[in-house]
Amino acid sequence: MKILIVYAHPYEGSFNNAILETTQSSLASSTHDYEIIDLNKEGFNPVLRKEELKIYPQGKFLDPQVGEYLKKLKAAAHLVFIFPIWWGGVPAILKGFFDKVFLKKETYEFKGLRPVPKLKNKSATVISTMNSPKLFYSLYLKSPIKQTVIKSTLKVCGVKKVKWFELSRVVSVSNKKRKKMLAKIRKYFSKL
């Protein structure tokens, strides 16, 4: 299966980087064919500018990186998103990936008021890290990642099967607990 990993963390010593490395090493010993988009390393510009917004309704873009990423997105059977939670949501660079690459006509269309998904037959894994406890995020904040990334973006575009690793308290917990989280991810990808 063709897998596309979209990674959104700027710092190599981070826990997110350990998640990326774990995912990569697990997939490397599988039969899957995977590719990584490292948004920060590749210098992706997340801002959807006036000139780009003008042609957005026609499914067109100006940024050549968008064309490259869109091709990879459409070719993949499984999408993996790895990112830290910043102010309840995704880092700006990943938000820009959704804004610019999940283009109208390519990933969804509208028939009247009804969105018609165009990314069919794909599944996804979302791995987010945060330092809050899970209950605070789900009960008090109402799980913004579930609402914005999983429901409003992936599911609207047709990605129906989504597994979410909601890793909480990642800064405060012991190294032993962080290793346990990585082991869970390793096991999941080795069985994907």
| Tokens read off for 146 | 């579930």
Q: Which residue has the tokens 């990933």?
A: 107
Residue with tokens 């490395």, as numbered in its chain? 21
Q: What is the dihedral of CA 96, 98, 104, 105, to 10 degrees?
A: 130
Site string for ligand FMN, 111-150 (x = CB under 6 A): ------------------xxxx------------------
Which residues, 6 or more positions from 156, have their beta carbon under 8 angstroms from its beta carbon?
108, 115, 117
CA atoms 74, 80, 82, 85: torsion sign? positive
Shortest CB 185 distance to ligand FMN, Å: 13
For ligand FMN, the binding residue among 76, 85, 124, 145 (CB under 6 A) is 85
Q: Does 5 bind ligand FMN (CB under 6 A)?
A: no
User: C-alpha distances in angstroms, 91 versus 83, 97, 153, 179?
Assistant: 7, 10, 15, 24
Using CA atoms, how far apart are residues 37 and 16, in angstroms rounded to an integer? Answer: 14
Nearest approach, Cβ of residue 76 and ligand FMN (Å): 24
Length of the chain: 192
Q: Which of 87, 113, 121, 175 binds ligand FMN (CB under 6 A)?
A: 87
CB of 192 to ligand FMN, least distance (A): 22
Least distance (Å) between residue 103 CB and ligand FMN:
28
Binds ligand FMN (CB under 6 A): choice among 5, 26, 36, 84: 84
Nearer to ligand FMN, 90 or 159 (CB): 90
Q: Tell me whether residue 57 or residue 133 sits nearer to ligand FMN (CB atom).
A: 133
Binding site for ligand FMN (CB under 6 A): 9, 14-16, 84-88, 129-132, 170-171
